[in-house]
Amino acid sequence: MAKNKPQACMATVLSNDAVMPNVFQLRLQCPEIAHSGEPGQFVMIKCGDNLLRRPISISDANGPSEQFSLLIAKVGKGTDWLSSVRPGDELDIIGALGNGFTIDDRTERLLLIGGGMGIAPLNFLASRATGLGKKVTLMLGARTGELLCPSSHLPQVNECVFCTEDASVGIKGRVTDCPDAYIETAEQIFACGPLPMYRALAKDHRFGGKPMQISLEVRMACGIGLCYGCTIKTKNGQKQVCEDGPVFEMDDILWDELADL
């Protein structure tokens, strides 16, 4: 999905709710983002006195209500500051940014694979796909059941499969240990998660020949293609994650030359 022209805007906080340990969901009022945001895109948020903005994936957007949501993990000063905002506060935001996921019109069955916070953009994608009448299987993995996004914050899909490394919920193992049946029936695969998950998927011959789009999570300084700090190597030359991504075709990335992000 091609990106729209980004805009600078002020978003009003409607709610800030805890979802799971060190993860919270912000619901924001902002017509610019709500109308333009697409699954896979992100916003850059000014977080208090921090010099650099923080890139956050859009987890839901609704044009008619002029609202959108962000699912955020507390991992540093910026996101810690965001976790403390309250209803009525205003956030300085630039967005929607980047290129998002593309659903082929001919596709009927989608498999979405999420590891950890990868659920954020996949949530938006799943909602969009089901709205288009597609059959969606959502597979989510985490170390323990406590770290899985609760069902109350998940989209309505045809099937949701959980994987935990400690076997506390669902299938024992990692989300990359996806049962063959789900891979075989999928016409398109979409994934979002940490780099080790992508490396495992790229090496798994079972996914060979299946079109797969992945969303890279990287450190960004500007988010708009000016600083080149998020440049990666692909089969089609150097690309900027913020400008050319964050969504890429799995087979296009030179994984052996990609440093830990």
Q: Has 78 been labeled as part of a binding site?
A: yes
- Would you say the C-alpha torsion 212, 218, 224, 228 has a positive or negative sign? negative
The pair of structure tokens assigned to 118 is 């990868």
Q: Has 54 been labeled as part of a binding site?
A: yes
Beta strands per DSSP E along 144-230 = 159-164, 171-172, 188-192, 212-215
Q: Has 57 been labeled as part of a binding site?
A: yes
Q: Has 185 been labeled as part of a binding site?
A: no
The pair of structure tokens assigned to 241 is 């994650």
Q: Has 222 been labeled as part of a binding site?
A: yes
Q: Which residues of 216-242 are buried (b: 16+ CB within 10 A; e: fewer)?
A: bbbebbbbbeeeeebebebeeeebbbb
- CA 107, 171, 164: angle at the middle one, nearest 5? 105
Question: CA-to-CA distance for 14 and 37, rounded, in angstroms?
Answer: 18
Q: Has 227 been labeled as part of a binding site?
A: yes
Q: Has 230 been labeled as part of a binding site?
A: yes
DSSP annotation of 127 reads: H
Binding residues: 54-57, 78-79, 222, 227, 230, 242
Binding residues for FAD: 54-57, 78-79
Binding residues for [2Fe-2S] cluster: 222, 227, 230, 242
